[in-house]
Amino acid sequence: MKSTNPATDEVIETYDDHTADDVDSILEDAVSASESWAETDITERQQLLENAGEILRDRQDEYAELMSREMGKPIDESYAELEKCAWVCDFYAERAGEFLSDRAIGSEPNAKTFVSYEPLGAVLAVMPWNFPFWQVFRFAAPHLTSGNVGLLKHASNVPGCALAIEEIFREAGYPEGVFSTLLVGSDTIEDVVRDDRLDAVTLTGSEGAGRAIAEQAGSELKKHVLELGGSDPFVVLEDADLDAAAETAATARTINSGQSCIAAKRFIVADEVFDEFLERFVSEMEGLEIGDPLESGTEIGPQAREDLMEGVHEQVEASVEAGASLECGGEPLDRDGWYYPPTVLAEPPMDSPAAEEEVFGPAAAVFRVADEEEAIELANDSHYGLGGSIWTADLDRGERIAREIEAGCVFVNELVKSDPRLPFGGVKASGYGRELAREGIHEFVNRKTIWVQSAGESDDVPQTE
């Protein structure tokens, strides 16, 4: 397993894959740790999570450079990602006890009835390369603290990040086996999912990977959560603040050099302001600083792999051939590394890749619509449903339209983002289940109903299923 710098195409380090015996041993350690970890007092689990957050902040320079070298993230974004990871540790260190406390439910006068939240056991997290620390911590922070043990199968191009995260939990004081990394390829995961020692699975990744995991986990009747791709609409209505919309649009499309599931990808603009928005948007995109991801101030780094850059370029070329107007960008940069420039395609045909597919790179498609009704229709004309953004001066109007957008989260006058305090996830082909907030920590627990009846005082209740 190789770690390669996408800005230079140089191999950083080579790692030995785990063998079948290694995987078996790791699973056995997880099972061995599971029972005692589930019985560990919640306050102790919260303290260990707080320790992990402190390590993230103490070693942010080391981890930020690791991320930027291994997958090309601009260094300023790497620091921001680490701070967000520390934040999610802080959040659950403070709130997990509240979220997992018994919930009383009224029933009969002489009975105590409540819901108890109990861990499921060993949970496998199959995580992507694009946010190599954040995706893992938003899984681990709630679910380790709820008493589960975690197994991480990270993307094969970020093994250094995977091992660094494992070390963070070890140094924070987590017992052996509570969090472990599996350095294996995707072909091994099917066997892991089928293993009786595994209780649940979560995946963040492509639609294809999600379908495979869902099929495997479903056949084993194992709980699973999927956060998959997206083709998020960014709707600009005629009364929007165009300066703010255009500036935010460029950020929303190019965060992580465009490699984000919740990046804005389809820009749906009212005809009345289409030309003005397009001009400002192109100007913002052209003004972004492309450079070495290790240099502060770089806004666009390389794509994480050469094949990913080539894939984006193929989608752009096919969309232009279909009739889209190329407003800027559109060609890989002539420099070392896998760089693709900020690119804007105006009015691509509806059967072009820019309209039909998820474009996982810094290429934006801008569509013209006649009115609000057509904007909503086009926003929902996608088999994805992860996020959406609405821009309007009328907040009541924005809220009303947000309710009509088919997505897991919709923001008005703001870009789509995940936040530890808010549940996050999609609908349609963008997956199911939720991460973060109270809803997220409840995904991998047994929400057990308990009825405690006073002896000899049971009322007559219909005995039905």
CA distance readout (Å), 260 to 62, 130, 166, 417: 23, 7, 24, 10
Best CA proximity match to 301, nearest among 60, 70, 80, 128: 70
Give every strand in the sheet of 343-346, ordered side by side.
325-328, 343-346, 363-369, 264-270, 232-236, 387-391, 409-412
Cα–Cα dist 85/105, whole Å: 34
Task: State whether residue 336 is helix, strand or coil.
Answer: coil
| Residue 399 CB coordination number (10 Å) | 13
Dihedral of the CA atoms 174, 178, 184, 190 (nearest 10)? -160
Residues 6+ apart with CB under 8 A from 394: 239
CA distance 48 to 401: 42
Structure tokens at 412: 């008005």
By the 8 A CB rule, do 198 and 122 touch? yes
Could you give the angle at which helices 372-379 and 395-404 cross, rounded to 10 degrees? 40
In Å, how far from its chain's centre is CA 27? Answer: 25
Residue of 81, 227, 299, 327 marked catalytic = 227
Q: Distance of alpha carbon 327 from its chain centroid, rounded?
A: 30
Residue of 85, 161, 261, 409 with catalytic role = 261
Hey, how many other C-beta atoms are within 10 angstroms of the C-beta on 283? 13
| Cα dihedral across residues 332, 335, 339, 340: positive or negative | negative
Amino acid identity for residue 408 in this structure? G
Closest CA to 261 of 398, 388, 173: 388
- Pairing status of strand 232-236 against strand 264-270: parallel
Give the sign of the dihedral formed by CA 28, CA 29, CA 31, CA 35.
Answer: positive
CB atoms inside a 10 Å sphere around CB 20: 10
CA 291, 293, 294, 299 dihedral sign is: positive
Sequence-ordered strand ranges (E) for 276-362: 325-328, 343-346
C-alpha–C-alpha distance, residues 283 and 285, integer Å: 5
For residue 435, the 8-state DSSP code is B
Residue 261 annotated among the catalytic residues of the structure: yes
* Active-site residue set: 227, 261
